[in-house]
A and B are shown apart, each in its own frame.
Chain A
């Protein structure tokens, strides 16, 4: 025993312990995908809890179309709350531990930053199967680069419950903002919640989308780009007017009892169980609309309305909010040196569109097999997407991660009528830099 306690041994042992501790603290997550050169053990994908379609489609692919690739590199799905996705991506990127495939950041600026840094693959070379419409949306978002794969190609608008409207004497779907607000008032008076909207924490985009679209309809399709370019400010009176219009809806209680308490799933469920007449939503929700176990009002009963025009506004209803919603990005480091990963990605690009459309009624930006039969509502939206002439982006599209978080975090308060349009715009603007 005596020899063990020699100072030299002790110091050496202490050194080893310290080294072990420091490497454990500072080292990466130990993700196998981080190791360059050799092929990774698994094909890892970082999903978000709020979107189940991508995970289930990838799982289906791994069992059928991409079974060979899955044998070489088994699919491994990890999940993350959408609200903390950006933060997780930054941490993983900082440690060089991003998985091969991950949900693109909520703030497009972060994905661009990761690409500048050489962490995200410019997917143009692997996007042979991507439709031109999807490519143009992606490039508008990422300064002309194709940084993500379009696992969704969405248009957004106001969906309504046909029966609830008819029951309350609203026979034609409202085509202008004034008609829409009149319909809200009528429904509210009849004891029906006019709009279902999420506003809890990061789900506040359910309200801020209304603000963005109102501004675009009133000021024209380049109104938000002007703010990004510094030609206008959100605190300018015409922009504040947009936020005030939505705050007025909130004050009147049209967004329901307490938007700050409602998360995304609850908001969608409120609409799908017939407890609210309208919901602002993207076409990614088609999978839920076509799911009988979730949609209790019936898919035939769901109507789609383009965001209406505002009296005297410069924007038109044809300028459709379109985006690639929850898209996926590829880790450059993991992709470039790993042939198994490359094979997987190729298989996804070739087959994802067909499987997602067939199994989840999800319209994607990938090419699809023409033989897939889709429900009527999906067909209607497919036609709408095909007919889009001008697309516009959402309220926070050009914002930094901080301004995005602040805007969405305050959306619920705006929808609850607890925040004035001016205060909301001031709060967002002070975080825009």
Chain B
């Protein structure tokens, strides 16, 4: 058995060498340096640059002039901003709740009712996640079309004696289609994420509870929900993260319309900077979005800390 001690010595030696390497400032700098440099160049620098723009007005064409805090006072007077801010928050809350709730229900379905055929259903439900957003948006546009052709949804409404709805011409209806599309598009992802969490719940606990006569509802309320709370919170964090920054699905589906009724901060920022050529004010809107994200992040972290404290 001479191999074992030799291998042990080799491993020990490797660990020692690693310690000496990681203890050396120079090697740490060499290892981290390139990544830090690239990160600084492509992330930090543009962010600081954008922050700098908030004090200027103009664009790359007209040139930039110092504006002081004019952009910030404009922010307070801008009649379009409250609408965009409200839409962003409304969208984030509705979609986050929708995504996680539907995902959770699906994952419960996978675990309790579809143990055998689960993989096929899981695949089908997951499919929209990997479809390109623009393709899904076009699909929904056609699906809810009112004119010149009547889409399947309106055709169905008319078949049942109702009158077709012009889905994209009123803010409420347009928001409904946006929400429906985004929940449909991402529920598969959250279902898989939460399914993985549910699989971690020990079968023994469930069995014991069943033997004690607990109903399905009781099982869900007293065992499954508390034990899957950490993964549920992670899902909420993931979801709110993505929905506050939503851009592509809304841009492709409604273009922010009708009028500006479905324009979130991201789209408003993009239009202001690139279509209206006002980089300074666009950056100020971006800063507003950053502040909003920071607020939500702080809120979530405080909330989760309390969670783990209780657990």
- Show the binding face of A for B, using Cβ within 8 Å: 7, 10-11, 13-15, 17-18, 21-22, 25, 84, 86-87, 90-91, 93-94, 110, 113-114, 116-117, 119, 201, 256-258, 260-262, 266, 270, 400-402, 405-406, 409-410, 412-413, 416, 418-419, 427, 430-431
Q: Which 9 A-B pairs have the closest CB atoms?
A: A94-B60, A14-B34, A402-B276, A258-B147, A257-B147, A261-B147, A87-B275, A260-B169, A258-B166
List the one stretch of B35-43, B97-105, B202-210, B239-247 in contact with chain A.
B35-43
A413's partner among B145, B148, B169 (CB-CB below 8 A) is B169
Task: Report yes or no: B147 in contact with A90, Cβ–Cβ below 8 A.
Answer: no
List the one stretch of B8-16, B84-92, B216-224, B255-263 in contact with chain A.
B255-263
* Separation of A419 and B260 alpha carbons in the complex (Å): 13
Judged by a CB distance under 8 angstroms, whether B168 is at the interface is yes
- With a cutoff of 8 Å between Cβ atoms, the chain B residues found around residue A18 in the complex are 34, 37-38, 41
Task: Report yes or no: B148 in contact with A270, Cβ–Cβ below 8 A.
Answer: yes
Q: Chain A residue with minimal CB distance to B166?
A: A258
Binary CB contact string for chain B from 7 to 46 against chain A (1 if under 8 A, 0 otherwise): 0000000000000000000100010011001100110000
8 Å CB contacts to A: which residues of B232-268? 255-260
Judged by a CB distance under 8 angstroms, whether B170 is at the interface is yes
Task: Report yes or no: A94 in contact with B59, Cβ–Cβ below 8 A.
Answer: yes
- With a cutoff of 8 Å between Cβ atoms, the chain B residues found around residue A406 in the complex are 260
Task: Report yes or no: A22 in contact with B147, Cβ–Cβ below 8 A.
Answer: no
Task: Report yes or no: B79 in contact with A257, Cβ–Cβ below 8 A.
Answer: no
- With a cutoff of 8 Å between Cβ atoms, the chain B residues found around residue A17 in the complex are 34, 38
Task: Report yes or no: B30 in contact with A90, Cβ–Cβ below 8 A.
Answer: no
- Starting from the known contacts A11-B33, A14-B34, 8 additional A-B residue pairs (CB-CB under 8 Å) come to A7-B30, A18-B41, A91-B274, A93-B61, A110-B61, A113-B62, A261-B168, A418-B170
A-B contact pairs, 18 of them (CB 8 A): A7-B26, A14-B33, A15-B37, A18-B34, A21-B38, A87-B274, A90-B274, A94-B61, A110-B61, A114-B61, A257-B146, A257-B148, A261-B148, A270-B148, A401-B277, A402-B272, A406-B260, A416-B169
Task: Report yes or no: B259 in contact with A409, Cβ–Cβ below 8 A.
Answer: yes
Task: Report yes or no: A418 in contact with B258, Cβ–Cβ below 8 A.
Answer: yes
How large, as a class, is the contact surface on chain B?
A: 35 or more
A86's partner among B170, B260, B275 (CB-CB below 8 A) is B275
* Separation of A231 and B212 alpha carbons in the complex (Å): 83
* Separation of A116 and B145 alpha carbons in the complex (Å): 44
Binary CB contact string for chain B from 160 to 183 against chain A (1 if under 8 A, 0 otherwise): 000000101110000000000000
- Shortest distance from the beta carbon of B294 to any chain A beta carbon, whole Å: 25
Task: Report yes or no: B255 in contact with A201, Cβ–Cβ below 8 A.
Answer: yes
* Separation of A261 and B169 alpha carbons in the complex (Å): 8
- Shortest distance from the beta carbon of A171 to any chain B beta carbon, whole Å: 30
* Separation of A14 and B79 alpha carbons in the complex (Å): 47
8 Å CB contacts to A: which residues of B260-297? 260, 271-272, 274-278
- With a cutoff of 8 Å between Cβ atoms, the chain A residues found around residue B276 in the complex are 400-402, 405
- Shortest distance from the beta carbon of A81 to any chain B beta carbon, whole Å: 11
- Show the binding face of B for A, using Cβ within 8 Å: 26, 30, 33-34, 37-38, 41-42, 59-63, 79-80, 145-148, 166, 168-170, 255-260, 271-272, 274-278
Given known contacts A21-B41, A418-B258, is B59 in contact with A261 (CB within 8 Å)?
Answer: no
Task: Report yes or no: A261 in contact with B145, Cβ–Cβ below 8 A.
Answer: yes
* Separation of A358 and B34 alpha carbons in the complex (Å): 62
- Shortest distance from the beta carbon of B150 to any chain A beta carbon, whole Å: 10
- Shortest distance from the beta carbon of A243 to any chain B beta carbon, whole Å: 14
- Shortest distance from the beta carbon of A388 to any chain B beta carbon, whole Å: 33
- Shortest distance from the beta carbon of A201 to any chain B beta carbon, whole Å: 5
- With a cutoff of 8 Å between Cβ atoms, the chain A residues found around residue B170 in the complex are 418
- With a cutoff of 8 Å between Cβ atoms, the chain B residues found around residue A405 in the complex are 271, 275-276
Q: Chain A residue with minimal CB distance to B79?
A: A430
* Separation of A402 and B74 alpha carbons in the complex (Å): 15
* Separation of A129 and B277 alpha carbons in the complex (Å): 34
Task: Report yes or no: B42 in contact with A266, Cβ–Cβ below 8 A.
Answer: no
Task: Report yes or no: B148 in contact with A266, Cβ–Cβ below 8 A.
Answer: yes
Q: Chain B residue with minimal CB distance to A426?
A: B79
* Separation of A400 and B277 alpha carbons in the complex (Å): 10
- With a cutoff of 8 Å between Cβ atoms, the chain A residues found around residue B274 in the complex are 87, 90-91
* Separation of A418 and B261 alpha carbons in the complex (Å): 13
- With a cutoff of 8 Å between Cβ atoms, the chain B residues found around residue A90 in the complex are 59-61, 274-275, 277
* Separation of A201 and B166 alpha carbons in the complex (Å): 15
Task: Report yes or no: B260 in contact with A409, Cβ–Cβ below 8 A.
Answer: yes
- Shortest distance from the beta carbon of A7 to any chain B beta carbon, whole Å: 5
* Separation of A120 and B201 alpha carbons in the complex (Å): 67
* Separation of A15 and B41 alpha carbons in the complex (Å): 11
* Separation of A261 and B42 alpha carbons in the complex (Å): 40
- With a cutoff of 8 Å between Cβ atoms, the chain B residues found around residue A21 in the complex are 38, 41-42
Q: Chain A residue with minimal CB distance to B46?
A: A25
Task: Report yes or no: A418 in contact with B169, Cβ–Cβ below 8 A.
Answer: yes
- Shortest distance from the beta carbon of B285 to any chain A beta carbon, whole Å: 13
* Separation of A266 and B278 alpha carbons in the complex (Å): 33
Task: Report yes or no: B169 in contact with A258, Cβ–Cβ below 8 A.
Answer: yes
- Shortest distance from the beta carbon of B48 to any chain A beta carbon, whole Å: 15
* Separation of A262 and B149 alpha carbons in the complex (Å): 10
* Separation of A321 and B144 alpha carbons in the complex (Å): 37
* Separation of A262 and B169 alpha carbons in the complex (Å): 11
* Separation of A431 and B274 alpha carbons in the complex (Å): 16
Task: Report yes or no: A261 in contact with B146, Cβ–Cβ below 8 A.
Answer: yes
Q: Chain A residue with minimal CB distance to B78?
A: A430
Task: Report yes or no: A413 in contact with B271, Cβ–Cβ below 8 A.
Answer: no
A419's partner among B42, B60, B166, B259 (CB-CB below 8 A) is B259
A260's partner among B42, B79, B166, B278 (CB-CB below 8 A) is B166
Q: Chain B residue with minimal CB distance to A89?
A: B61
Q: Chain B residue with minimal CB distance to A10?
A: B30
- With a cutoff of 8 Å between Cβ atoms, the chain B residues found around residue A117 in the complex are 61-63
- With a cutoff of 8 Å between Cβ atoms, the chain B residues found around residue A419 in the complex are 259
- With a cutoff of 8 Å between Cβ atoms, the chain A residues found around residue B147 in the complex are 256-258, 261-262
- With a cutoff of 8 Å between Cβ atoms, the chain B residues found around residue A119 in the complex are 61
* Separation of A21 and B42 alpha carbons in the complex (Å): 8
